[in-house]
Structures are given as C-alpha cells and as structure tokens.
Amino acid sequence: MSTPSSAQTGSLACGLDQAAKEDVPTTIVVFGASGDLAKKKTFPALFHLFQRSLLPKRLSIIGYARTHMSPEEFHKRVTSHFGEDVDKKSVANFLQLCTYFSGKYDVADDFRSLRKEIEDREKKMKPGGSGNRVHVYYMALPPSMFVDVATQLKNNVYDDSCTNRLVIEKPFGHDLKSSRVLSKEIGSLFEENEIFRIDHYLGKEMVKNILTLRFANVFYEAVWNRHYISNVQITFKEPFGTEGRGGYFDEFGIIRDVMQNHMLQVLSIVAMTQPQSLDAEDVRDRKTEVLQRILPIQLEDTMLGQYVASIDGSKPGYKDDDTVPKDSITPTFAQCVLHVDNDRWRGVPWVIKAGKALNEAKMLIRIQYKDMPNSLFPNLARNELVIQVSPKESVYIKTIVKEPGLSTNLAMSELDLTYKTRYHDISIPDAYATLILDVLNGDHSDFVRSDELDEAWRIFTPLLHKIERERVEPLPYEYGSRGPEGAYQFVEDRVGYKRT
Ligand code: NDP
Ligand code: BG6
C-alpha cells in the first residue's frame, strides 16, 4: 500500500520548506557552542536540515562560547554526533557555513565584535534574496546565563531592521515566582513574538501527530470526552538514572525536569478543544485554556519515589552519586492525579507518571474508554487507545475481537499502526530538527507561550514548595524496577483504571 500524499490528505499550515523557498539571508548564532546540547542536538539538527536542503540558501552559522577553540577543534566538536555513515562532502559543505567566535557572555565589547562578525558574513553571502534578514540567537546555555546574553544582545547586536528570534532552552525558572522574574526580564528585552521557548517534546513526531489524529479523524474526536473516556495516563519511563548529572538533577527533581514541562504540554494537546485554525496563537490559546482549568496538584494525589541500588547491586542508587547530598529527598519518580475541570473532561482523572532508573524506556499516552454500556457480552475488557511517543512511534487501539477460527470466545487484539512497519522508508527527524525548522519559518505553534508557562508553574509550585518545606520522603524503589511498591495499585485505586 502506498503512503498517502499530503495532496490527498491536506497538510498542516506551516509550509515546511518556507525558509528555503524565501531564501532570506539568515544568521544563526548558537550560544554555548562548546556545550553538550550544541554538540548532541543543535548542530546535528542543523546538519540534518542542511542535508535535506531545508536551510535557507543564504546562511551563516556562528558558534559562540568562552572556550578558546581553533576552527578545526570547533568543527571536530560539532560534527562528533553526526553519525558514522555521513557523506563527507556534505559535512564539508555544511562546515563552510559554520564559524566559531570566542567571547564572554557579559562583555559588551565581545558582543559588538559579534555584531561586526555577523555583518561581515552577511556581506559575503551571495547577493539576492528578499532584502529582509533573519537573526536567530539560540541559547544552548545554562539558564543562569539567559538574561546576561539577552541583555548584551539587545544592547549591542540587536538590529531592528531585521527579524530577530531568540531561542531559549528549558528550564524556564524554578517555580512560579522565578519563572515570572525570568519572563519579565527577557520580556523587557525581546517581544513575545520574538521568543521561542523550546520544549523538545513538542517537536516529537507522535506529539505533533496528536492534533492531526484528533481533528482529522471523525471517529476519534467523536468519543474524545467524559461520556466515553474513563481515564487518561501519560507515562514517561527511563531505564537509566541520573548518572553523571546527579548534582544538576538534585536541584530540580523529576517534577521540574519532565512533568511541569514535557508531560503537561502533552496533556494540554490531548485535552484541548479544536482551535479555530492551525495558527500558532489559536493553538496556544486552546492549550492555555486547558491548563487554566487544572487546579494545583495536591500532595495527597501524588506518589513520590527515589531509586536505590538495583537488587544485584550492579546499578547504583541515586544517593550513591557523590554529587548528590546524602540526605537528598529529591524525587526521581512521581505520579499524580489531576482533573481538567471543563465540560469535556469533568470527572475524568488524568495520571501523569514519570521516573528515572525504571525497567524500560517508554513515553506513551494511554486513553482508557469506559465499559461498554448494555453489553451483549459479560465481563468485557475495556478499549484503549495508546499513542506511543517513544521508543517506537505507534498508535494502537486495543480492540476486542472474536477469537479467530471455530471458537466463539472473545480475545483482546490491536488495530496497530506501528510507524516502522507502515512508513519503513521514511526517517523520522529528531525533535530538534523539526523545531529549528519552525524557528526558521517563524512558526510558534510548537513553542511554549509565556502564559502557558505561567499556568504550568501555577499547577505545580504549591506541591513543589510543600514537598521541600515539609521534607516529604520519597518511597524507595530499586534501579530497574517498575517503581515504588504500590505504584500501579495507586493508579487502579485512584482513577479506576482496569487492566485490559
Ligand atoms: P552545558 O553545561 O554543556 O553548557 C553549555 C556551555 O555553556 C558550556 O559549554 C560553557 O561554554 C557554558 N557554560 C557552562 N556553565 C557555565 C557557567 N556557569 N557560566 C557561564 N557559562 C557556562 O549545558 P548543555 O549544553 O547541557 O545545556 C544547555 C541548555 O540546554 C540548558 O538550559 C539545559 O537545561 C538545556 N537542555 C540540555 C539538554 C542536553 O541534552 N544537554 C536537553 C534539554 C535541555 P563556555 O565555558 O565555553 O562558554
Ligand atoms: C530532558 C530532561 O528535558 O528530557 C532529561 O532534562 C530527560 O532528564 C530528557 O532524560 C528526555 O528526553 P528524550 O527526548 O530522550 O525523551
């Protein structure tokens, strides 16, 4: 069977090759270019787009950081995660677009020199294009540097004759108050429509797909409400601990690390009503409305855990890491029940669950339907729609069928759309490639708006403060296990989830 073309099925509004088509002279400055994110995600994503001719034709990429590096060292660093079998010529062509600039993050002279570098490189770009120019400032930096860099940019580099875009990485603050301070400071320098707050989950294929599944298929949307849905679970599991990042993680914990951002973003897309259009502001309005209808999460509705060494002792516990305080109460596992108090969802419990050092890698959304009313069949299991975001992109519906053959028994089966099988000739891009392309296209749909951020912190801040103030002890669970004892029972008891 052939894959349907976008002409047959319609397409999302944001023309994916818009930047390349318009051919606008573009400069991307990556701050923190010596760092981990730049090496593992930002530059590989840029290269991915370059290989597919999706970057603007007139382009300059400048890596900026304090570390002194020769051009060769810089090139070696940024290509280190391009993979084994890349085309060397393609890499060489890409590197011609890239240069490195060493400077401090709070020194005006360094930023003035950066401006000169940008201008010199723009002059060298092939003539032509629309006359318009785009400057993208990508902060692959620790958050403590965001305001310094944004201030220097505004004072010494910002050019109001071109389109300026500031890309910020999470974490955006530590709680509601600090997030508001950060938003205010950045907001006094850059307009909201110039700011792109990255939550990389919004760039993942299956997360982007939720909107399409829901609003392009009549049979999903028709039963997407409290009349048919019993409960929804959004689960994030990682099979590794905080190895090497314990010190960083201890300041945040699993709630700040993935729940307040990635999981709440996913929830808001699953729960939103249909936006008026695919325009970024319409989409973000609908997501914000969902968040506004969620009450702050209570400790009573929450279970916290922290991993200890694996049973066989081969994997260390969280507190075995020397960078983690021995009396740390930071949760590495959490699950909480919340409600979206609107007409569509009233009475439907949502569970968000996240943990490190668990038994498997998995991110999925599990929507469990209600029992079949007036059923012909006794003791029917429930239908479920599962959207698996990772590691295996898939959508499947747990469906009851007659056992094949002469039997008249019922059996649970699946209508299964596993992407690897159905779209085996399509490579799914990393979330960062998708998001960088959106930045180049000026499309904010998959970036977090300041009011969404505010709501997300409002929902979690009282719980976070209570945990810290009362030093709530997390329950222990073994590295590689399914979480603290009672974790699954908690979900069954609290939301009426029935195993299928
Ligand atoms: P790094 O710790 O690698 O920092 C990036 C660069 O910033 C460093 O190379 C260093 O460059 C500079 N830097 C580091 N610490 C300081 C400091 N205290 N003061 C001034 N400059 C400093 O960070 P990552 O690349 O891991 O992350 C960057 C951002 O992306 C963060 O906001 C992070 O939360 C976010 N993020 C990272 C992910 C990842 O996979 N790494 C995933 C998701 C988000 P130099 O000294 O040369 O100037
Ligand atoms: C990051 C968190 O935002 O997301 C990490 O800080 C987590 O702790 C990561 O491991 C998960 O992202 P992905 O894309 O690997 O699922």
Q: Is 392 in the pocket of ligand 1 (CB under 6 A)?
A: no
Output the CA 319–ligand 2 centroid distance in Å: 20
**Dist. CA 65–CA 107, nearest whole Å:** 12
pLDDT lower than 70: segments of the chain: 1-22, 126-131
CA distance 171 to 190: 18
> In this predicted structure, what is the pLDDT of residue 267?
98
Please report the pLDDT score of residue 18 as a whole number: 53
User: Could you report how far apart the first and last alpha carbons of the chain are, in Å?
Assistant: 31
- Catalytic, out of 48, 135, 200, 262: 262
| Distance of CA 10 from the midpoint of ligand 2 (Å) | 32
Q: Which domains does the chain have, with CATH numbers?
A: 26-169 (3.40.50.720), 205-429+449-495 (3.30.360.10)
What is the 3-state secondary structure of 386-444?
EEEEECCCEEEEEEEEECCCCCCCEEEEEEEEEHHHHCCCCCCCCHHHHHHHHHHHCCC
List, chain by chain if needed, residues with CB within 6 Å of any ligand 2 atom: 200, 238, 257-258, 363, 390
- The tens digit of pLDDT for each residue in 75-131 reads 999 999 998 888 999 999 999 999 999 999 999 999 999 999 999 999 888 666 556
Q: What is the pLDDT of residue 13?
A: 40
Whole-Å CA distances, 279 to 22, 39, 286, 288? 20, 32, 11, 14
Q: Which of 170, 197, 200, 333 to mutate to test the pocket of ligand 2 (most atoms within 8 A of CB)?
A: 200
200 classed as catalytic = no
pLDDT confidence of residue 346 = 97
Cα distance between residue 271 and residue 234, in whole Å: 12
Output the pLDDT for position 5.
Answer: 44
pLDDT of residue 394: 97
What is the model's pLDDT at position 427?
87
Coil, strand, or helix at residue 213?
helix
Instruction: Give the phi and the psi of residue 401 in degrees, each rounded to 5.
Output: -130, 165
Query: Is residue 440 within 8 Å of 297, Cβ to Cβ?
Result: no
307 forms beta bridges with: 477
CB of 239 closer than 8 Å to CB of 359: yes
Q: How far is the CA of 302 from the centre of ligand 1 (A)?
A: 31
280-325 confidence digits (pLDDT tens): 999 999 999 999 999 999 999 999 999 999 999 999 999 999 999 9
For ligand 1, the distance from its centroid to the CA atom of residue 244, given in whole angstroms, is 14
Task: Indicate the burial class of 379 (C-beta count within 10 angstroms; 0-12, 13-18, 19 or more).
Answer: exposed
| Ligand 2 atom having least distance to the Cα of 201 | 14
Closest ligand, as measured to the CA of 107: 1
Q: What is the C-alpha radius of gyration for the chain, rounded to an integer number of angstroms?
A: 24
pLDDT for residue 7: 39
**Residue 39 CA, closest ligand 1 atom number:** 25
Rounded distance between C-alpha atoms, residue 300 and residue 104, angstroms = 47
ipTM of predicted assembly, 2 dp: 0.93
Ligand nearest to the CA of 257: 2
Give the CB-side neighbour count of residue 340, counting CA atoms within 13 A.
26
Q: What share of the chain is helix, strand, coil (3-state, %, to 5)?
A: 40, 20, 40
Which residue has its alpha carbon closest to ligand 2 atom 13?
201
Both tokens of 343, joined, read: 């007409």
Query: Which ranges in 79-204 belong to alpha helices (H)?
Result: 88-95, 108-124, 146-156, 176-187
What pLDDT is stored for residue 130 in this prediction?
56
What's the confidence (pLDDT) of residue 91? 96
Q: How far apart are CA 453 and CA 193, in angstroms?
A: 15
Q: pTM for this one?
A: 0.94
